[in-house]
Structure 1
């Protein structure tokens, strides 16, 4: 289930964000977390599976109630279980389907859309 980011989850969120190719540097990770904490247009969610936080998604408000998927990450131990797809599905419910990918998330987003179309 998706849960909203709280500062008490900062280390977990930074660990998950570090799996993103553009988020390897500690300073960059700190800047990204700060953006989610300080800017109301940026929202970060964590995915909880049983008692473990195993995934993360982050969106930002663009315009016309459209949200951009900026970050998506799943702990490597939990990959290939459909968690990323579940996170995107939940985001689309929260934001009424108005979610578009960023350059960094496009490949995964399109893959999820294609798999959904085959179901």
Structure 2
């Protein structure tokens, strides 16, 4: 289940974000978290299964037509189970009237799964 990020989940969110190649540096990671917490056009969502948060997806609402996926990360012990794909599908439900587009950091995953435009 996709849930909105709350400050109480900051440490787990930072841990999941740190798996992104461009978020290895602590200062960069803290800056990214601050952007999600303070900028209205950025949204961070967490994937929760039972009581565990095992995934994260972060977006930038570009305009009234597009939402850009900036971050997508799954706990390594839960990878290859379709969680990333499920997060994108759930995101499509949250933004039904917007096109989901990847950025340079998420393009390879999104294209591999062919899930932004609804072709599954």
Q: Shared topology, TM-score over 0.5? A: yes
List structure 1 segments (4+ residues) > 2 angstroms apart after TM superposition. none
Unpaired runs of 5+ residues, structure 1, are: none
Deviation readout 1:35-76 (Å, 9 max, x if unpaired): 000001000000001111000000001123310000000000
C-alpha distance in 1 between matches for 2:64 and 2:52: 35
Calculate the TM-score normalised by the size of structure 1. Answer: 0.93
Cα deviation, residue 94, structure 1: 0.7
Cα deviation, residue 113, structure 1: 1.0
Cα deviation, residue 98, structure 1: 1.7
Aligned position for 1:106: 107
1:84-99 equivalence runs, <5 A:
84-96=84-96, 97-99=98-100
C-alpha distance in 2 between matches for 1:4 and 1:36: 11
- The structure whose residues are more often helix, as a share, is 1
Calculate the TM-score normalised by the size of structure 2. Answer: 0.93
1:20-99 equivalence runs, <5 A:
20-96=20-96, 97-99=98-100
RMSD between aligned residues: 1.3
Cα deviation, residue 27, structure 1: 0.5
